[in-house]
Amino acid sequence: MLVRKHRVDFVVANAENAAGGRGVTPKVAEEILESPVHVLTAGNHIWEHDTLRPYFETHPILRPYNVDVSLPGHGSGIFMANEGTRVGVVSLQGRIFMDEKGKTASDPFRAMDVLLAEFKARADIVIVDFHAEATSEKRALAWYLDGRVQLLFGTHTHVQTSDEEIMPKGMAYISDVGMSGPHASVIGLDKDVALHRFLAGEKKRFKVAEGDVRIEGILVDIDVKAKRARSIVRIRERCASENDL
């Protein structure tokens, strides 16, 4: 078990496409939260299942922070790590190539200015999941938040990047943590279905692939007193069973 092996104190999992490749359902969210996961973050597909909406108020599930305030749920929260550290977690959505049926996000840069002012006296460290398409937007936000948060990791593209680093002012960063799921696929989609879509231009029924299941993510060591990250390491392991989590 990875959490036990690395003696992890706090786990954030992006559950964006955990329910058959589209969003997350209450059942799937509960299954993930039964494992050693403290909070679930999401992205532009979190709205796929209306049945999840009541769970935003009763479970540690964050929808994007910088969407219309009339939408249900919360985009940030303070959660307790195993050793008592107050961890501020933000689920943030990018804007470039990310328009989603009227749920376009507001400026993530200014949104973080507002939120960090609120977090100042409440959080010991801050972790941001930036769900965005464009690497340029992720890198720009990284420079903007370096020294103000302790970890910014990207999600959404389903492909793990090799640009993990500790930035000059102590923030750990990676453009995309990758995809936990079937890698004998086209970013999770059955490869034959995906090829048909590209070659024939016809959208066949979505089908999740099954082969070569892997866990991808990052392991970050943060000095809470200094409010700086010490290290960031990519994780990429093949799974024999769910017990490998």
The four Cα atoms 45, 48, 51, 53 give a dihedral, to 10 degrees, of 40
Pinpoint the alpha helices (H) of 96-202: 108-119, 135-145, 191-200
| Average pLDDT value for the chain | 92
Q: What is the pLDDT of residues 47-67, one digit of tens each?
A: 889 999 999 999 999 999 999
| Mean pLDDT within 158-165 | 97
- pLDDT for 32 equals 94
Residue 34 predicted with pLDDT over 70: yes
Given a cut of 70, is residue 18 above it in pLDDT?
Answer: yes
Q: Which of 75-89, 100-114, 152-166, 216-230 has the lowest mean pLDDT?
A: 100-114
- Hey, what are 58's tokens? 């009763």
The CA angle 64-65-71, to the nearest 5 degrees, is 75
Active site positions, annotated: 45
**Chain centre distance of CA 55:** 18
φ and ψ of 39, to 5 deg: -155, 145
* DSSP alpha helix (H) spans, the chain: 2-5, 26-33, 108-119, 135-145, 191-200
Q: Which residue has the tokens 């108020």?
A: 57
Mean pLDDT of 126-152: 98
pLDDT confidence tier of residue 193, bands split at 50, 70 and 90: very high
pLDDT at 203 > cutoff 90: no
DSSP string, 41-67: E--TTGGG-GGGGGGGGTSSB---TTS
